[in-house]
């Protein structure tokens, strides 16, 4: 299937998940994250979840990384050029909703992409080669292209990867790993 068809299909599949399924899936994914070797990680980029879209709740992961003395970084959208800026998420960081309803920091210290060691990437679905389908604006594709070559890119998803995304292009970046609920 092509990205646009996958977007429609997996948005619906996610909406069809029950709260019980989401809780169970999230616990499984969290455990996979907790099993990662993060000994060399200093800065971890996470996305702030949108409950209305039934995205994986990253609040427990934020707490986990803070507890492990890792600095948590989140993004802010630049709507003029469809890029992201990145900021440390501290205990006292104030968040404000942008026009998409995404919480963003308004009083935080900026971080360059090159300073990130581990990036967790949101998605709707991925394929077995770890290419992903997001919401289609290209924010993460541009962001990931500016990260260091040795940064670890991990996708978080409720669904098992499909065989192939038909219209992967030169701007798509394969992730190092995709975490989804394992049985």
Alpha-helical runs (H) found in the chain: 3-16, 19-34, 59-67, 139-145
pTM equals 0.95
Give the CATH class of 3-179.
Answer: alpha beta
Match 């909703």 to its residue by tokens: 97
What residues does each domain of the chain span? 3-179
Secondary element (H or E) of residue 131: none
Torsion angles phi and psi, residue 113, rounded to 5: -55, -35
Query: What are the helix (H) ranges across 35-174?
Result: 59-67, 139-145
For 90, residues 6+ apart whose C-beta sits below 8 A from its C-beta are 108
**Three-state DSSP class for 19?**
helix
Rounded Cα distance between 33 and 64, Å, is 9
- Walk along the chain (183 residues) and give the pLDDT tens digit of each residue: 999 999 999 999 999 999 999 999 999 999 999 999 999 999 999 999 988 899 999 999 999 999 999 999 999 999 999 999 999 999 999 999 998 888 999 999 999 999 999 999 999 999 999 999 998 888 999 999 999 999 999 999 999 999 999 999 998 999 999 999 996
């Amino acid at each position: 299937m092509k990205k646009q068809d996958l977007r429609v299909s997996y948005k619906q599949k996610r909406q069809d998940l029950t709260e019980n399924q989401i809780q169970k899936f999230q616990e499984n994914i969290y455990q996979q994250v907790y099993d990662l070797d993060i000994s060399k990680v200093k800065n971890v980029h996470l996305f702030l979840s949108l409950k209305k879209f039934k995205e994986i709740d990253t609040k427990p992961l934020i707490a986990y990384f803070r507890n492990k003395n890792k600095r948590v970084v989140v993004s802010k959208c630049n709507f003029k050029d469809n890029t992201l800026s990145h900021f440390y998420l501290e205990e006292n960081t104030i968040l404000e909703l942008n026009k998409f309803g995404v919480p963003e920091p308004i009083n935080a210290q900026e971080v360059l992409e090159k300073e990130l060691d581990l990036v967790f990437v949101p998605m709707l679905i991925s394929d077995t080669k770890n290419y992903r389908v997001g919401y289609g604006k290209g924010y993460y594709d541009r962001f990931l292209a500016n990260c260091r070559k040795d940064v670890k890119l991990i996708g978080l998803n409720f669904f098992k990867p499909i065989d192939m995304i038909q219209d992967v292009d030169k701007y798509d970046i394969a992730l190092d790993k995709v975490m989804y609920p394992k049985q």
